[in-house]
Amino acid sequence: METIRAKGIQDEKVLTAINSLPRHFFMEKGFEEWAYIDKAFPIGSDQTISQPYTVAFQTELLQIKKRDKILEVGTGSGYQASILALLGARVHTIERQEDLYHKTNILLEKLDVGNIRTYFRDGYKGIPEFAPFDKMIITAGAKSVPTTLKNQLKIGGILVIPIGDDNTQKMFRITRVSEKEFKKEEFANFRFVPFLKGTNKK
């Protein structure tokens, strides 16, 4: 997508993945005609599908390699998870809204774009039984980096997370340098729906 390239995304593999995945599959009826505009849109349960630039930005920071084992927090529409799967990653994605989890699970099975497993859980807890992960991506705005998630990262692994208050967050890339050491890099401002505690059953 040329708009995204113009905004600074350079990784050709990421651009190709975004180009090849029809975004309207992931959008609500009535919004489909807006699918190729670089904006976030509602997907039900008070949640949004991130704008393609944001998806591309987070994906680029993750430096995905084929077969990377990735944890995504905030499945939402399943769009970001599908982009990661298209890049060859093995994706484990968590959603806390039960109705959204069910709806997206059905869609992802139907689309069958790659290796994606979905979970209805609280993302703060990660997925201990599949840890450690090569990469992690948080697609909801957090107040700080949850320690539980940092501990489920491989040494050399990368975690991309927006941190801030409810209105605006700064993107961070955290690299686990050793058992106890983490390197923190800071990027631009974004706006995500909040990273909430617990699950929301129907």
Specify whether the CB–CB gap between 72 and 93 falls below 8 A: yes
CB of 79 to ligand SAH, least distance (A): 4
Q: Please, are residues 114 and 88 in contact by the beta-carbon 8 Å criterion?
A: yes
Residues of span 134-163 touching ligand SAH by CB under 6 A: 139-140
Least distance (Å) between residue 142 CB and ligand SAH: 9
Closer Cβ to ligand SAH, 125 or 173, answer by number: 125
59 to 88: interface string for ligand SAH, x by CB under 6 A = --------------xx-xx-xx--------
CB of 66 to ligand SAH, least distance (A): 21
Annotated active-site positions, please? 50
Assess 31 for contact with ligand SAH (CB under 6 A): no
Instruction: Give the list of residues 6+ apart from residue 119 with CB closer than 8 angstroms, or none.
Output: 92, 93, 94, 95, 101, 127
Q: Note whether 18 binds ligand SAH by CB under 6 A.
A: no
The token pair at 16 is 């190709």
Establish if 130 lies at the interface with ligand SAH (CB under 6 A): no
Determine the Cα–Cα distance for residues 22 and 79; give it in Å rounded to an integer: 9
Binding residues with ligand SAH: total (CB under 6 A): 23
Q: Which residues of 63-80 are buried (b: 16+ CB within 10 A; e: fewer)?
A: ebeeebbbbbbbbbbbbb
Q: Does 51 bind ligand SAH (CB under 6 A)?
A: no
Count CB atoms within 10 A of the CB of residue 179: 7
